Every structure is written in C-alpha cells, then in structure tokens.
Amino acid sequence: MHDIGILLTFAGGLAVALVLGFVAHRLKLSPIVGYLVAGVLVGPFTPGFVADRAVAEQFAEIGVILLLFGIGLRFHLRELIAVWRVAVPGALMQSTASTLLLAALLTFFGWSWTSGIILGMGISVASTVVMALVLAERHDLHAPIGHIAIGWTVVEDLLTVALLLLLPILFGQNHDQGAGVALGLAGLKVVGLVAVVVVLGKWVIPFALERIEKTRQRELFTLAVLVLAVGIAVGSAEIFGVSMALGAFLAGLAVGRSEFASRAAGDAVPMRDAFAVLFFVSVGMLFDPLSILQVPHLILTVLVVVVVGKPLAALWTMRLLGVPMATAAPVGAAFSQVGEFSFILGTVARQLGLLSDAGWNALVASSIISISLNPTIYRWTRKVTSAAPNTTPPSEKERPAIDPNRCILVGYGPVGRIVYSLLTDRGVTVTVIDLNLDTVRKMKADGIAAIYGDVLRSGTLEEAGIHTAGSLILSADVEDAAEIVRQARILNPDLRVLARCTHLRAAPALKRAGAAVVAVGEAEVGVALSEAVMANDEVDITTAAARREAVRAKLYESDSATERVSGNR
C-alpha cells in the first residue's frame, strides 16, 4: 500500500500540475502559478485526493538538486569569481536590510525583536528554483543578470547554513556552547567541500566520464551524470553539513570545467524539469487557505516586505556597488519571492519556539503569493528597464540579431569535413557539434570551435549559439532529425536548415519540420548511377545537368507521392 501511495503522489501531483499549469499558461500567467495551486488542491487542507507530502518533498529535492547541478554546469568559475565582489556584500546588505525592516514592522503587532528577526531572516532568502526558471524564460540565466543573481543566492545559501547551525546553539538547550567555534567549524567544512570538489573536477570526474563515454552506451552516461549530481549533493549534506542544493551547484561547477559539460547538461534537463515541478507542488501543499482569514494583516505585512522591500534593498545595494540600473533593477525584481530555505529555517525556528503558528502561516502564504507574482514582476521590470533611454528595445532584446555568416554543423564525419572546408573557404564561422570525444578533442587542438554533446538533448544547440546562427546543417544521418529541425526552428524562426538523411521516406518529415534543403542518400546514389550509365552519351553540359535534375526530381517526387497514398489509406 505504501508503494501505491508513492505512485499516487507522483502521478497525481504531476497530473494536476499539468492541467493547472496548462490553464495558467492559457490565462497568460506563469505555469508556476498552476503548479502551486495544484499543490494546494492535493494538500491536506483541501478536500479530495491528498498526496503524501513527505514523498512529494523527496521527489522535489531531486528536482532542486538537478536544477542547481545544471546551473553549475553553465556557470563558469571565472563568472562566479567576477560577480563575487557584488554578490557577497550585496547578499549581506540586502539580507540585513530586509530582516530589520520586517522585524521593525512586526513590533507594531506586538512581536518581539527576536521573533521578528527570525522571520525576517526567513523571508530574506530567495528561491533559486524560481529564480532560475524565471531568468531562463527571458534568456537571462547565463547573462550578467543571471550571473549576479545566482552568485547572490549561493551566498544566501551559505548564510542560511550558518544560521541553521547557530540557532540551536544560541536558543537550544545546549546554548552554552561556543557559537564562534561552531561557525568556524562550519567554515572549515565548506572550505573542505570546495577542496574536495576541485580535486574531483580536475582529475577524478573527467577520468571516470571518459571511461564511461568510451562504452558508447548512452544510458550509462546519463546514469553517471545522475550519480554525480545526487551523490555529491547528498555527500555534501551528510559529510560536510551544508545544503544539498549548494553541493549540487558545486558538483555542476566541477563537471562544467570538463569537456563533458554540454552532454551532461543535456542528460540532466529531462529529469530536472519533471522533478522541479514537484517542488512547487510540495510548496503548495504547505498552504492552509484559511490562514488568509486568520492573520491577513500579518500576511500582508510580510508580503509587502518580500515584493517591495527586498527588491528595493537589493536595487539600492547594487547601485551603491556601481552596478548599472539596467542590470540592478531586474536582479532586484528576481528577489521578490521567498524560497525553499525559508521553510527549512522556519521549521527549525518553530521547533525552538522562536516562530509561532501565525508566523509560520504568514511565511507559507507570502511564499506562495510572492512566487506566483514573481514572474510578472520580473517581466514588467525587464520591460521597463529595456525601454529606458540608452538601452536596447525589448524586441531587440528578445530576438537577437541573426548572423548569416554563422553556421552550426552537426557531425564531423567525411561529409561534415567537406562541408566545413567549403564553408570556411567562404568566410563562414562554423561551430561543430559531434558525439565523438576523440574527434572533438582533435578539432579543438586544430583550433576548430567544437562542442562535445548530443544534439538530441536540450541545451546543446543553445550552447552552440542557435539563437544567432544563420544556418544549421545536419551532415550526419541523425536519429529523430525532424524533431531536431523543429526545435531548432522554434529557437530561431529565421534559421535556414539543411539536412541529410539516408532514405527517401524520411525526406517529407524533414521538409514539414522546416528544413529548406534535404539531401537523401538513396536519391543521390540514384543520380550518380544514372550519370554513370549515361556517361558515354555525347551530350553537352547543359543537357547532362538537365538529365541529372530530372532524375533527382523524379526520385524525390515519387517518394512524396508514395507517402501521400499511404497517408490517405
């Protein structure tokens, strides 16, 4: 029965989230709103089906781990160091300002400064999951805005870990122990974790992944990525006492320094998206709708600080640190929500008697409402800052300029080499995607821009620069080529796609998907053989060319007719 309960929670939570996420999208809202409402509906405070919250949280934890792992993969260490000068003082100043503001306001409702500061520290932490999804929606996750925001949340995570260690020491039964000693020990553990991850990333992980890659078994590589993400995250929590999210982020940084980064990211995305949805479902399950009627003034106060006070504090801090308004305002808007660490901190505070039930309900309610509002607040802020003087208009921001002399070439076999040579001779900039590690290494050694990755996996084309490329050439007969063409055209509607396939029956699907040119192996062999048969005919070049095109047209047209007949049946 317990196994059935787990499956019901997983299937029921995802099904309700799917329906309400679709409804939210149709209503021009973020799907996140639908996921949160789904959690409320399957939670213990509403009638009908009740999911197992403990199981939902465990699934959600996997989603958080994979999401932070994916962010770490794309977040190069030099970018993290570059934003550290803003992220560290920014997180400290914004967290302090938000905490003191809420604590001061709560004194008007009879709260003590201690309880007010505890709740203030809880709402000062933003959700990395929400932030990553909202930033990715506007293609800001891997831009300067995203680098600062994610680096900022990493600092917040470290501060939260320190608070979780300090609270039991300061307010628990063993509060006579030295807080400084505990904090120093926590710092040493974090330094130790970073050192271990650096060693793993430099020597162990590349060695292990290369051995697995040489097996040519896709499922083994995917399994290895999952083991790395979850294993390092869990090890970070169990051995070093830090959050699993931080451990997953560091694991992503370690793998991201290797040549396997692109393929690892592609393997993690499908699993991440499904489990990340359950994060929002699990948050929704915490919400008791009656709390809005029980403590409306408290919820409103907390909510105002979250959606107004936090963004303004972050904006003010970044302006003091010299960050331009066009970057500072969106980053501030991204922090107008309350995250997963808030619940962990709130739970510990409740156990220590530092947070009342009313404070807990206010924390949960403000979290759900702010997460629902956050995508809209962020979109509005980006629109305003993009439309400001001396900035790029929104349309140009959303649609990067296409470079007709940039091409993405999939496959570097015999055909790919010929195509690459012809393109570079014409001055075209080419980025090659290939799934052969030795080939990619040789290309890089020769100065060729190459990515080791599976073009079937989400994210590989983006890393190759699909948004600004003028053309995409599939020089290899790739599995599910029509789907690749379709996805590429979604990412870049102006893209010109040239595709290769082996059989004539596959050509119509590629054409329907959006390929401008399809070269079919069967047809071209037929053309070559017909030319060989007619080689002794004494005809001029123009007549020979006309014959060749007639044979080619007949072969392609006969296959299209065959497909139409079979389709009508």
Helices 113-123 and 357-387: crossing angle in degrees, nearest 10, is 40
Q: Kindly state whether residues 306 and 435 are assigned to the same domain.
A: no
Structural domain includes residue 224? yes
For tokens 């320094």, what's the residue? 257
Q: Is residue 538 over pLDDT 80?
A: no
Q: 443: closest CA among 427, 420, 473?
A: 420
Q: Which of 472, 467, 465, 461 is nearest to 510 (CA)?
A: 472
Query: What is the distance between the alpha carbons of residues 67 and 75, in angstroms, rounded to a whole number?
Result: 12
Same domain flag for 417 and 525:
yes
Question: What is the DSSP track for 88-117?
Answer: HHHHHHHHHHHHHHHHHHHGGGT--HHHHH
The CB density around residue 293, as the number of other CB atoms within 10 Å, is 8
The residue behind tokens 């915490």 is: 286
pLDDT attached to residue 293: 87
pLDDT for the residue 190 = 80
- Please state which of the ranges 42-46, 115-119, 389-393 shows the lowest mean pLDDT: 389-393
Q: What pLDDT score was predicted for residue 513?
A: 94
What average pLDDT does range 550-568 have in this prediction? 58
Domain that holds residue 92: 2-387
- Residue at 497 is within a domain: yes
pLDDT at 117 over 90: yes
pLDDT band (50, 70, 90) for residue 178: low
pLDDT digits (tens, 9 = 90+) for 133-177: 899 888 788 788 988 998 898 888 778 877 876 787 777 655 555
Tell me: pLDDT of 299 over 60.
yes
Same domain, 448 and 353: no
Cβ-contact 112, 180 below 8 angstroms? no
Whole-angstrom distance, CA of residue 26 vs CA of residue 499: 34
* CA–CA distance, 137 with 132 (Å, rounded to integer): 9
Residue 394 belongs to a domain: no
Q: Are 341 and 407 members of one domain?
A: no
Most confident range, picked from 177-186, 258-267, 378-387, 468-477? 468-477
Do β-strands 469-474 and 450-452 pair in parallel, antiparallel, or remain unpaired?
Answer: unpaired
pLDDT value, residue 120: 94
Contacts of 13 (CB under 8 A, 6+ apart): 38, 39, 42, 51, 56, 59, 277, 278, 281
pLDDT of residue 510: 94
Whether residue 562 sits in one domain with residue 482:
yes
Q: Are 350 and 406 in contact (CB under 8 A)?
A: no
CA dist., res. 363 & res. 45, Å (int): 16
- Same-domain check for residues 469 and 425: yes
Q: What is the per-residue pLDDT across 394-432, written as a single tens digit (0 to 9) for each? A: 434 445 689 999 999 999 999 999 999 999 999 999 999
- Work out the average pLDDT over 63-75: 81
The pair of three-digit structure tokens given for residue 332, joined into one six-digit string: 């501030």
Q: What percent of the chain has pLDDT over 70?
A: 91
- Estimate the crossing angle of helix 113-123 against helix 77-106, to 10 degrees: 150
Amino acid identity of residue 253, one-letter, is L
Question: Among residues 342, 359, 387, which one ends one of the domains?
Answer: 387
pLDDT band at 392 (very low <50, low <70, confident <90, very high): very low
Per-residue pLDDT, 160: 81
Decide if 397 is inside a domain: no
Of 228, 275, 314, 269, the closest CA to residue 454 belongs to 269
The residue among 202 and 82 whose pLDDT is bigger is: 202
Q: Is 464 helix (H, G, I), strand (E, B) or coil?
A: helix
What is the average pLDDT across 436-448? 94
- If one counts the domains in the chain, the total is 2
Query: Confidence class of residue 565 from pLDDT cuts 50, 70 and 90?
Result: very low
Integer Cα distance of 4 and 465 in angstroms:
45
3 state SS of 473 = strand
In order, the DSSP letters of 400-437 are PPPEEEEEEEE--SHHHHHHHHHHHHTT-EEEEEES-H
Judge if 138 and 272 occupy the same domain. yes
CB 24 within 8 A of CB 16: no
Quick one: tokens of 297?
A: 């003034």
The pLDDT of residue 335 is 95
Is residue 311 located within the same domain as residue 422? no
Q: Which is more confidently placed, 529 or 559?
A: 529
Domain ends where: 343, 360, 387?
Answer: 387
State the CB neighbour count (10 A cutoff) for residue 419: 20
Q: Are residues 308 and 379 in the same domain?
A: yes
CATH code at 24?
Answer: 1.20.1530.20
Q: What are phi and psi of 473, to 5 degrees?
A: -120, 120
Task: Please answer whether residues 164 and 243 qualify as being in contact, where contact means their C-beta atoms are separated by less than 8 angstroms.
Answer: no
Residues 192, 301, single domain; the answer is yes
Measured from the Cβ of residue 137, the count of other Cβ atoms closer than 10 Å reads: 15
Instruction: Quickly state the pLDDT bin for 566 (edges 50, 70, 90).
Output: very low
Mean pLDDT of the chain: 85
pLDDT digits (tens, 9 = 90+) for 311-341: 999 999 999 999 999 999 999 999 999 877 7
**544: in domain:** yes
φ/ψ (deg, to 5) at 174: -105, 40
Range with the poorest average pLDDT among 134-138, 148-152, 299-303, 456-460 = 456-460
The predicted structure's pLDDT at residue 17: 94
- 398 assigned to some structural domain: no
